[in-house]
């Protein structure tokens, strides 16, 4: 939400490709993307659940939780964007084996216009083999549209969307209200699950802080107390702060 007096550029709901130039259709792709998932051991035959943590807050949560789990690094995906000036830009997507049959995927933010479909294409073979896909992402609380004004919203809360094949009983958060939308890699994964009849669930954590602390982590803790087949034990999930935030104005 803009601050009082802040000048906010109006954006078009038609997004950035709203144009009419014929020449732009003939523009060549400025870069070539190369993505590949490298498994460190053998490719798992049939993982039960894939948990995808997308965005900074969800990734910080996974990193914090991983300390208590002693997971095994299972695979990583590297994407190289070879632009015209030949400067490779790498995207690291890590997959961890959290327990037997449960894999956690740490997916950093990617440019949806350039990479989301490529990332998805590499992950699809893994999704095809697993029983269900659960995605966790975070959005700023002011982005939430509802009947309450932004200032009356809680500091952190969770909403969920799930596919028609996902068991409703396993969803541990209220349904995301229309017209709220989720974009990017989480949306592409859940859309794929719906179109190709794979049970999938997306948890969206709305927080007013981009940093992981006891307040912003609370909805994630609540969800993972019941999700993940008991992998996330209570002692693992109880923490105050994952990132050392400055607690004083004088010293770090």
Partner 1 sequence: METKTNSPAALSVFVVVIISVIMTDTIEETPQLYYPITDVNFDGCTLIVPSVSVGNVGQLCTDLLILSLGCQKTGYLWHQAILPIVGADPYKVSSPDLALPAEVYYSKNHNLVILQLRSSIIKKLRKRFLSDLVLWMKSIGVSQVTVLTGSSNEERIDEQITTEPFRYLVSAESNPSLAETFRSLGWISLEKRLHFPALSKLESLEEDNQNGGQIVIPGGGFAKQLITVCTESNLNCVALIKFCSEGDNIPDALVMLRKLNEWLKLLEVDSMGSPKLVFPHSWNHLFGNPPPRQLY
Alpha-carbon distances of 30 from 39, 40, 68, 112, 160, rounded to whole Å: 30, 32, 43, 16, 37
Rounded CA-CA distance 158/174 in Å is 7
At residue 42, the 3 state secondary structure works out as coil
Q: Which parts of 201-240 interact with partner 1 (CB under 8 A)? A: 202
Candidates 5-13, 54-62, 102-110, 225-233: pick the segment binding partner 1 (CB under 8 A): 5-13
- Identity of the residue, 34 or 181, whose beta carbon is nearer to partner 1 in the bound complex: 181
Rounded CA-CA distance 209/192 in Å is 30
Rounded CA-CA distance 40/24 in Å is 42
Q: Where are the beta strands (DSSP E) in 83-131?
A: 88-99, 102-107
CB of 9 to partner 1, least distance (A): 12
- Identity of the residue, 147 or 234, whose beta carbon is nearer to partner 1 in the bound complex: 147
Task: Single out the residue of 183, 214, 226, 238 in contact with partner 1 (rule: CB under 8 A).
Answer: 183
Rounded CA-CA distance 135/69 in Å is 19
The radius of gyration computed from the CA coordinates of the chain, to the nearest angstrom, equals: 19
- Identity of the residue, 142 or 229, whose beta carbon is nearer to partner 1 in the bound complex: 142
Alpha-carbon distances of 47 from 33, 77, 102, 132, rounded to whole Å: 27, 17, 6, 9
Task: Single out the residue of 67, 72, 196, 214 in contact with partner 1 (rule: CB under 8 A).
Answer: 196
Task: Single out the residue of 71, 186, 199, 228 in contact with partner 1 (rule: CB under 8 A).
Answer: 186
According to the binding rule CB under 8 A, does residue 3 interact with partner 1?
no
According to the binding rule CB under 8 A, does residue 148 interact with partner 1?
yes
Task: Single out the residue of 96, 162, 224, 232 in contact with partner 1 (rule: CB under 8 A).
Answer: 162
User: Exposed, middle or buried by CB within 10 Å (0-12, 13-18, 19+), for 122?
Assistant: middle
Count of residues touching partner 1 (by CB under 8 A): 54
According to the binding rule CB under 8 A, does residue 167 interact with partner 1?
no
Binding site for partner 1 (CB under 8 A): 10, 12-20, 22, 24-25, 27, 29, 112-113, 116-117, 144-152, 161-164, 168, 175-188, 190-192, 194-196, 202
């Amino acid at each position: 939400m803009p601050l009082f007096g802040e000048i906010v550029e109006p954006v078009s709901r038609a997004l950035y490709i709203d144009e009419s130039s014929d020449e732009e259709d003939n523009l060549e792709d400025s870069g070539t993307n190369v993505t590949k998932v490298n498994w460190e051991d053998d490719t798992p035959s049939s993982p039960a659940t894939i948990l995808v943590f997308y965005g900074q807050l969800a990734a910080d949560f996974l990193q914090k939780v991983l300390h208590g789990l002693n997971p095994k690094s299972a695979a990583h995906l590297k994407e190289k964007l070879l632009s015209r000036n030949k400067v490779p830009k790498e995207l690291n997507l890590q997959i961890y084996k959290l327990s037997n049959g449960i894999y956690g995927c740490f997916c950093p933010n990617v440019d949806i216009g350039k990479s989301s479909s490529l990332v998805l294409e590499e992950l699809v073979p893994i999704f095809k083999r697993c029983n269900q896909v659960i995605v966790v992402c975070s959005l700023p609380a002011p982005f939430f549209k509802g009947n309450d004004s932004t200032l009356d919203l809680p500091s952190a809360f969770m909403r969920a969307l799930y596919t028609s094949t996902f068991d409703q009983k396993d969803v541990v958060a209220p349904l995301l209200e229309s017209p709220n939308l989720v974009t990017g890699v989480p949306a592409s994964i859940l859309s794929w699950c719906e179109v190709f009849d794979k049970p999938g669930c997306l948890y969206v954590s709305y927080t007013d802080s981009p940093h992981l602390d006891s307040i912003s982590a609370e909805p994630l803790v609540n969800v993972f107390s019941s999700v993940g087949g008991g992998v996330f034990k209570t002692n693992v999930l109880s923490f105050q702060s994952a990132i050392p935030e400055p607690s004083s104005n004088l010293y770090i």
